[in-house]
Amino acid sequence: MSVVTGSVRTLLGQVKRRLHSSEKEVSERKHASELGFWEGWVAENGSGPESEYYRKFMMDMGDIRDEAFFANRICLDVGCGPMGSLSWLRNAKAAIGLDPLADSYMKFDIARHNMIYLAAPAERIPLPSHYVDVAFSMNSLDHVDDFPAVCAEIRRVVKVGGFFIGSLNLDEVPTVAEPWSLTEELLEKHLFKGWEKQFYKTRPRLGDPAHFGPYKYFYEDCPKEILAKSGPRALWCRFKVR
């Protein structure tokens, strides 16, 4: 009996090691793909920061009309990338970018950006509970390894009375870099449940690679026949945490 038990334990140990190795390899491929994207972007466009682009995008995606909204608030961008996504927040108490590749981004000269970079996965945000006033996610939640865990972490760190502002890609085919296909139902279940919806807008997401190209129909009327078609969409939203 003990021999059988020992054999089972050995087999289970081997399976766990293989699963861990497989998960690690997938994560490494994903990070390599993401870093490769940014290396290409910086080579073509420079190292930024792209402050004005992010200011417009991140205010528009939350329907914020006045930068005074962020005054003296602790702001966190989950999956920030290396282009100074919060460098425009001159009146915030703190502007913090979270990205597991932040150390690798040092070669893009991010040290000169007017924000703090934290090198950590969104599944384990190194901040106290109820610490953040405003959490942003700009097309990053479909990139994570463990979507439910990331949502739980965002809900943990944002204080009651704080805000979540997002631009989220919906109904897209998973890829190496974007392994999650997000839906409105999945977001409601894991992230938005119980929060106060203050702004919420979905539109077809286009394949135009220009900065605002995919979001054309957030800025102009969308023809009904296009709106009715199935396919990739984007969600812009602002929720208040209760």
Residue 66 lies in a domain: yes
Higher pLDDT, 17 or 179: 179
What's the pLDDT at 19? 42
Mean pLDDT of the chain: 92
CA dihedral sign of residues 200, 69, 141, 221: positive
Q: Stretch 137-157: mean pLDDT, rounded?
A: 97
Residue 7 lies in a domain: no
pLDDT digits (tens, 9 = 90+) for 14-73: 545 554 456 788 888 988 988 998 999 999 989 889 999 999 999 999 999 999 999 999
Residue 130 lies in a domain: yes
Residue 8 lies in a domain: no
Residue 231 lies in a domain: yes
Instruction: Identify the CATH number of the domain in which residue 165 sits.
Output: 3.40.50.150
Residue 37 lies in a domain: no
What's the pLDDT at 99? 97
Residue 202 lies in a domain: yes
Residue 228, pLDDT above cutoff 50? yes
What's the pLDDT at 12? 54
Q: Which residue range(s) make up the domain with 117?
A: 49-240
Residue 210, pLDDT above cutoff 90? no
What's the pLDDT at 3? 47
Share of the chain above pLDDT 70, in %: 91
Residue 150 lies in a domain: yes
Confidence of residue 1 (pLDDT cuts 50, 70, 90): very low
Please answer whether residues 238 and 64 qualify as being in contact, where contact means their C-beta atoms are separated by less than 8 angstroms: yes
What's the pLDDT at 83? 96
Please classify residue 76 by burial: count the beta carbons closer than 10 Å to its beta carbon, then call 0-12 exposed, 13-18 middle and 19+ buried.
buried
Share of the chain above pLDDT 90, in %: 80
Mapping DSSP to helix (H, G, I), strand (E, B) and coil, where does residue 213 land? helix
What's the pLDDT at 59? 98
- Distance of alpha carbon 109 from alpha carbon 124, whole angstroms: 25
- Distance of alpha carbon 242 from alpha carbon 170, whole angstroms: 25
Residue 151, pLDDT above cutoff 70? yes
- Distance of alpha carbon 135 from alpha carbon 127, whole angstroms: 12
pLDDT digits (tens, 9 = 90+) for 158-172: 999 999 999 999 999
- Distance of alpha carbon 231 from alpha carbon 224, whole angstroms: 14
Contacts of 127 (CB under 8 A, 6+ apart): 76, 96, 157
Residue 5, pLDDT above cutoff 80? no
Please classify residue 193 by burial: count the beta carbons closer than 10 Å to its beta carbon, then call 0-12 exposed, 13-18 middle and 19+ buried.
exposed
* Number of domains present in the structure of the chain: 1
